[in-house]
Chain A
Amino acid sequence: MNRLSRLTSTHIVYLVVLLTVIVGTILVGSVGRSFFSTGNISDILTGTSVLGFIAIGQTLVILVGSLDLSVPYVISLSSLIAAGIMANQGANVLPGVLAALAISALIGLANGLVVSGLKVHGFIATLGMGLIISGYLATNYQGSSGQAPLSFRLIGATGLGPVPISTLIMLATAGLVLLMLNRTRVGHHIYAVGGDLGVARMSGIRTRTPIITAHVLCSVMAGLAGLLLAARLGVGSPTIGSQGGYDLLSIAAVVLGGTLLAGGKGSLVGTLGGVLIFAMLDNIMSVMQINPFLKDVVRGLVIVIAVAVYARRTVITRPPRFEKSSTTPAREVSA
């Protein structure tokens, strides 16, 4: 435990990633397949891209002390808007993408304004926003609609070697967000506001800016995930987001990545580790043909154990001055 306490949670996440790779190699090998085959690696990475986008955004809102439960509906809405505008016309790809992202950004802006201005906690604000969008989707769309042209569908289907283009876009986005978090004022202020709103205010930070920024970016990330799903499916779908359970799954990935649910502490790199762990677990269990319900059991265990480990680490704040057992022979502790 002592050595463990010197590692940051990001270190632990990547140790777990490594452990998952080892376990995966053995298990996948045991059914006569290779964990490291091009096809399998490509499968895993494909699994990271959609959740990756969403978890990047979720990391931002959680760091700033909020939460976003509206992401599944933003994903669905984005896929429908994009596929609807594109209508199988290659020339409409750009307008479709821009419209989907703009609408997503507006939803994020609304979330951010409600959270920062009306002081409604993100949990409630985005729950409400999610319900509103969900109602709109159910009223206006009976099923899949729109059509993504081939040029757009290629994004979901091609790759550089085993690495899908979508994963590369996700990683590039993560790089930009990482730069923003660590090297720009608004990034520092996201940590500050999530850490302690009062302290941030007293330090002269306009506390609404980081909250709104985080929410807008989070919704845009969900919008990107929706675009990616539209590219894969070739159509927009009103249920694609909620079916994936992306709201809770993305929060779980963020927390698994070592970010404090209360905000102010955590890292995007950790989140990516969390996403990778989930993607590998999914892959291993699919290859092993494990009952899908058991998948959730495993996911659940991983999340709870990980957070318990982090919690234990934060308790150890002071280095011990003396050995736990005596320096001089201990007397029997009386009952």
Chain B
Amino acid sequence: MDKEVFPLESRVNTPVVLSVSGLSKSFFGIEVLKDVSLELRSGEVHGLVGENGAGKSTLMKLLAGVHHRDSGTIELSGAPVDFSHPTQAHEAGLSTVFQEFNLLPDRTVAENIYLGREPRSGILVNRKAMLERTRELLDQLGITSIQPSTPVSNLSVAQQQIVEIAKAVSYDARIISMDEPTAALAGPEVELLYSIIGRLKERGVAILYVSHRLKEIFDLCDTITVLKDGEVVGSQPASSMDDASLVRLMVGRPISAYFPEVTPGTIIGEPLLEVADAGNEQLDSINLALRTGEIVGIAGLQGSGRTELVEAIFGAAPFTRGSMRLAGEAYTARSTRTAIQHRVALITEDRKSQGLSLNQSILDNALSVIRSVFPGRTNQARQDAPGVFSSLEVIARDLDQEVQYLSGGNQQKVVLAKWLAISPRLVLLDEPTRGIDVGAKVAVYNLMRALAAEGKAILMVSSELPEVLGMSDRVLVMRDGLIAGELSPTSTEEEVLQLATGARTEETPS
């Protein structure tokens, strides 16, 4: 979407709808937000960026009434407000789309959207009115692919995210804050989100937009505020910034190259993993070869079979036909245990539910795989752990800390440490940098390069095309459970998208 569609001048004179000043908040004596001030104007998209742990989510939760501020003022259209419950924020016209889904999977779209304020006739809920209003709401936002009476569990993750946004809009909000709304979206859904945001702007809704994807920030935002360590370190019109200057503000130091170069001495060697004519209920005709020292990226839309592919190789949802070879020997991943015994690692997409036991300690998480599959090596791994964590630059009080209190980036490092403990030959990464800050992203990229230099083979699934193109030696594009084609990392994002959406077809690589 072009900048010109929403010219800067259109917002300069619009009234301030949200004014925050001197906001501070501490948790357990640690100051998470320090004297934060910002202004949001009607019809403006205001980008809020910063590394994980910079205080973005805390700021949104203070605005939404989830947490209560320690000091400072929040004014809506000039009137000071003091929310102690999310309902009050909704009633005042401020709604929030949180990073975690706030939907009930077993209830319908309409029931979810009108949860807590179901339309009634008498004392009974008027289901017809609820369905009609939902239909109108979705139509207004240009959403045609979602039916109000569908249970949410039948929707794709991306559609659920769209429902989440529709729900926020349904409160007649004048201000909507969105915490990483595109984390679960790819391609066409991102465009749908852009068009929804465009419609909201036209209505004069102000949007506070948190994202780690800098491209989106620049595509969508009129103003950008950068948070670092709980403080505002910059707030400027988007037109006055570029990627480099923004990243410098966020991390406080310039990142010369976002994606590290291939480590010198990395040799792409013999094929480590060979998959021939493999398939199951979600995948078909999978042929691929992955060499030692190689990083292969897998691109594709949400639901194209990317996750299913790595899960099949890892034995979580095994192939039911075809064959695989690992280092020249037949390899059948009947279960995840078999895969791990063959020293195959999978860093899953969903860190919180599949990657970590949130209420266990860092050390217990890091040792969980080795304990269950290679118990004899547990002691060695325990002795190595402090070294691994310091080399990964995990920031934590100590190794007994529960992982739920770590930031997303540090949690991901714990997941990586857990898998490094088995000295994997093949590392499968599913969205390895989702929801983590720039600093942690770079750490993940560096680790991938280092692993490749050690002769491991790496298969990385990612929705972020710059990441796929920036890190991979080769890029496989998936569509509808098939490998739609192979591209070189010098391809453009457009070429990848064309292949992923079927706008262009290519021979399956042999």
**Chain A: residues with CB nearer than 8 A to chain B?**
179, 182-185, 187-189, 191-192, 195-196, 198-205, 264-265, 317-318, 320-328, 330-335
Contact = CB atoms under 8 A, between A and B. Distances in A.
Interface string B352-384: 000000000000000000000000000000000
Contacts of B319: 333
B149 interface: no
Contacts, number: 116
Contact of A202 (B86, B117, B320): B86
A321 to B, nearest CB: 5
Contact of B104 (A187, A191, A317, A318): A191
Contacts of A323: 281
A203 B66 CA distance: 11
A264 B152 CA distance: 13
Given A203-B115, A318-B282, A322-B279, A184 B125 contact: yes
Given A185-B125, A204-B86, A321-B281, A326 B321 contact: yes
Interface string B92-111: 00000010111111110001
Contacts of B124: 179, 183-184
B106 A188 contact: no
A205 B125 contact: no
Given A195-B105, A322-B481, A333-B332, A184 B320 contact: no
A182 to B, nearest CB: 8
Interface stretch (B18-26, B45-53, B322-330): B322-330
Contacts of A326: 277, 279, 284, 321-322
Contact of B321 (A196, A200, A264, A333): A333
Nearest to B130: A188
13 contacts: A184-B124, A185-B125, A188-B115, A189-B116, A191-B106, A199-B102, A200-B104, A204-B86, A204-B116, A318-B282, A323-B281, A326-B277, A334-B325
A204 B285 CA distance: 49
Interface residues of B, number: 47
A188 B118 contact: yes
A198 B64 CA distance: 14
B284 A322 contact: yes
A322 B282 contact: yes
Nearest to A199: B102
Nearest to B121: A183
A322 B115 contact: no
Given A188-B125, A200-B116, A204-B85, A320 B282 contact: yes
A184 B279 contact: no
A182 B87 CA distance: 23
Interface in B276-309: 276-277, 279-285, 305
Contacts of A324: 280-281, 320
Given A205-B116, A264-B106, A328 B125 contact: no
B321 A325 contact: yes
A195 to B, nearest CB: 4
A188 B281 CA distance: 36
B283 A322 contact: yes
A313 B430 CA distance: 27
B471 to A, nearest CB: 28
B120 interface: yes
B216 interface: no
B282 A203 contact: no
A41 B461 CA distance: 61
B330 A322 contact: no
Contacts of B116: 189, 192, 200, 203-205
A61 B161 CA distance: 30
B106 A195 contact: yes
A188 B111 contact: yes
Contacts of A199: 101-104, 115
Contacts of A328: 277, 285
Nearest to B64: A202
Contacts of B330: 334-335
A192 to B, nearest CB: 6
A70 B322 CA distance: 56
A191 B107 CA distance: 8
Contacts of A264: 104, 106
B281 A322 contact: yes
Interface in B457-506: 480-481
A194 to B, nearest CB: 9
Nearest to A320: B281
A219 to B, nearest CB: 23
Kindly name the residue among B100, B124, B127, B331 whose own CB sees the greatest number of chain A CB atoms within 10 A.
B124
Given A204-B86, A204-B87, A331 B276 contact: yes
B115 A184 contact: no
B321 A330 contact: yes
B321 A321 contact: no
A331 B273 CA distance: 18
A84 to B, nearest CB: 36
A334 B332 contact: yes
B107 A192 contact: yes
A331 B277 contact: yes
A334 B282 CA distance: 20
Contact of B102 (A203, A321, A330, A332): A203
Given A183-B125, A199-B101, 12 more contacts: A185-B120, A189-B115, A192-B115, A195-B107, A201-B86, A204-B116, A205-B115, A322-B281, A322-B481, A327-B284, A333-B320, A334-B330
Given A188-B115, A192-B115, A335 B332 contact: yes
Contact of A204 (B90, B104, B481): B90
B323 A200 contact: no
B153 interface: yes
A134 B4 CA distance: 75
Nearest to B153: A317
A183 B123 CA distance: 8
A173 B117 CA distance: 26
Contacts of B331: 334
B106 A333 contact: no
